[in-house]
Amino acid sequence: MGRKGLFIDYEFCTGCHTCEVACKQENSYPAGLWGIKVNEIVLESLDKVEINYLPFPTELCNLCANRTVNGERPSCVKHCQADCMKYGELTELVKEMENKPKTVLFAPK
Ligand code: SF4
Ligand code: SF4
């Protein structure tokens, strides 16, 4: 089996923070600890303001090993209502990026 990762299509991320909450509940993290954090990035130019939301897994993310070992999706992926997160083999997730303008891959060791 190849290396696994998280694919995030942030073009469609609404910044709802559900992934943060789902991760926190899955891992019972106390206040102040997060497995993923949603960042708001504001880009200003002369005639417009663009706001992007970019979820960023922290060093605590273990790709929900306790779930994926049983064939379940990571909690953040399962609960993202915009369906903009995927879990899988990096080689497959890279192919998803080819035609998508705003995507990132997260691949912990
Ligand atoms: S994969 Fe699991 S541990 Fe990692 S951010 Fe998502 S819910 Fe949290
Ligand atoms: S749950 Fe999905 S749409 Fe909501 S902030 Fe996280 S990645 Fe974005």
**Whose CA is closest to atom 7 on ligand 2?**
13
What is the 55 CA–ligand 1 centroid distance (Å)?
A: 11
At residue 1, the pLDDT reads: 73
Low-confidence ranges of the chain (pLDDT < 50): none
Backbone angles phi, psi at 108, to 5 degrees: -70, 160
pLDDT at 18 (0 to 100): 98
Ligand 2 within 6 A of 78 CB? no
Give the predicted TM-score (pTM) of the model: 0.93
Q: Please state the φ and ψ torsions of residue 49, each to the nearest 5 degrees.
A: -120, 125
Residues in Cβ contact with 45 at an 8 Å cutoff, skipping those fewer than 6 apart: none
The proportion of the chain whose per-residue pLDDT surpasses 90, expressed as a percent, equals 94
pLDDT of res. 109 = 72
**CB 108 less than 6 A from any atom of ligand 2:** no
At 63 the pLDDT is: 97
Ordered domains of the chain (ranges, CATH): 4-106 (3.30.70.20)
CA angle 69–1–75, rounded 5-degree value: 35
Does an H or E element contain 11, and which? none
| DSSP β-bridge partners for residue 36 | 57
Question: Collapsing DSSP states into helix, strand and coil, what is residue 38?
Answer: strand
